[in-house]
Amino acid sequence: MRLGSAVRGMLVLSALVLLSGATASAEIAVSANDAKPKLTDGVVSVDPGRKPDNIVILDMKGPIPKVIAQLDNVPTSVVGPPSSVAITPDESLALISASTKIDPNDPTKTTAHNALTVVDLQANPPAIIATLEAGAGAAGISINKQGTLALVANRNDGTVSIFTISGKMVTPAGNVDTGNPKSGPNHAAISPDGKFALLTRFGDHRTSVLSIDGSKVEMTKRHIFAGLAPDAIEITPDGAWAVMANIGMGQGDADTISLINLKLNPPRVVDTVSVGQSPEHLTISRDGKWIAVSVQNGTNRSIASGFFNQGGLVQIYTLKNGKLVKVTEAVQGGWPQGVAFSRDGKTLLAGNMAQRTVWVYSFDGKILKKKGEIPMNGGSAGLRVAGGN
């Protein structure tokens, strides 16, 4: 779908107007932008003309999201799920992880990183207030509903880093070891009551249940098996269900999302549906009615592979009688990443790496309609709003 030039011009103009200091009355979304990778016919290389990694802070109030600020030199990475940014429930802080960095011994390559950056969203302008260390390959971030605990999944060393939050102070509080350094932790979604988390592990194809008591986080003996390479995961606001994206092995096969019933003891997978090639991310609306899924759809493959498609997909599902039911889908950008709903569920953001934009959709409960694009200085590798787990 092509947007009229006047409307697109209006969106680009609004996206370039920086409104520093306006976060107090805003509905915040943050895009974490990785400027390092360059995709050429299915091959990812380091962009020699890259700008610094950065975050863009958006206000989702109104029909068209506006850019509040861009903050440069915030390390991040497209490697791992697009939950590499998280926002505290009061929208005062953003945490951003970086699983990779430029290799200091070879600037044409990347290597594992462990950075966790803390950004004060209420400062004028927003500012970095701390740079902390998680584990190697720091990826998905989850913050509890109480705003007191953050978990960072570390893809390269099989651990989860624990951080406590008090006001604007974020403090390391230990880690959880999965017992398998190659387990590839991707994301740990914390339950609404803050008593447990579900940790996806792409390396050994399972999702582990973690127990939480204050800042004490431990592995339990319960593991859930759904599909290949579990990646992004979220829990419904009522704590009854979790939905997980199984990103698969990247070989062109149709991959899946799975529904976990958390009301059962022990919790278990009760439904799995095929969504297409590589579901990269998913998110659940604030009212728990809608699930948005970002599907790469072969856009990051070579044309000659036979698996290539020009556009990615964003799909909407709902829950009916304990099943995932598809509502609609729309085309999105290439090499798509994160998705995020507005508070009222009527606007959906979808980031991508290929066009380095965030696409804006309206959703009326039946149809997704593209409204425009917001340009980013780097690929939108992570995209979140407050309240996502």
Give per-residue pLDDT as tens, 352-375: 999 999 999 999 999 999 999 999
Q: According to the model, what pLDDT value does residue 20 have?
A: 41
Q: Does residue 255 carry a pLDDT above 90? A: yes
Lowest mean pLDDT among 19-23, 54-58, 107-111, 205-209: 19-23
Average pLDDT over all residues of the chain: 94
Q: Which residue has the tokens 């999965």?
A: 178
Q: Rounded CA gap, 7 and 96, in Å?
A: 32
- Kindly report, residue by residue over 317-342, the tens digit of the pLDDT: 999 999 999 999 999 999 999 999 99
Q: Which residues contact 316 (CB under 8 A, 6 or more apart)?
A: 290, 291, 292, 293, 326, 327, 328, 329, 363, 368
Inter-residue contact 365 to 64 (CB < 8 Å):
no
Residue 2 pLDDT class (50, 70, 90 cuts): very low
Q: What is the β-pairing status of strands 85-87 and 93-103? A: antiparallel
Q: Does residue 275 carry a pLDDT above 50? A: yes
Q: According to the model, what pLDDT value does residue 4 have?
A: 43
- Kindly report, residue by residue over 117-138, the tens digit of the pLDDT: 999 999 999 999 999 999 999 9
Q: According to the model, what pLDDT value does residue 389 have?
A: 76
Residue 25 pLDDT class (50, 70, 90 cuts): confident
- Kindly report, residue by residue over 55-91, the tens digit of the pLDDT: 999 999 988 899 999 999 999 999 999 999 999 999 9
Sign of the Cα pseudo-torsion (119, 377, 296, 322, in order): positive
Render 155-167 in DSSP notation, one character per residue. Answer: TTTTEEEEEEEET
Q: According to the model, what pLDDT value does residue 14 have?
A: 43
Q: According to the model, what pLDDT value does residue 387 have?
A: 81
pTM for the predicted model, two decimal places: 0.93
Residue 22 pLDDT class (50, 70, 90 cuts): low
Of 5 and 387, the structure prediction assigns the larger pLDDT to 387
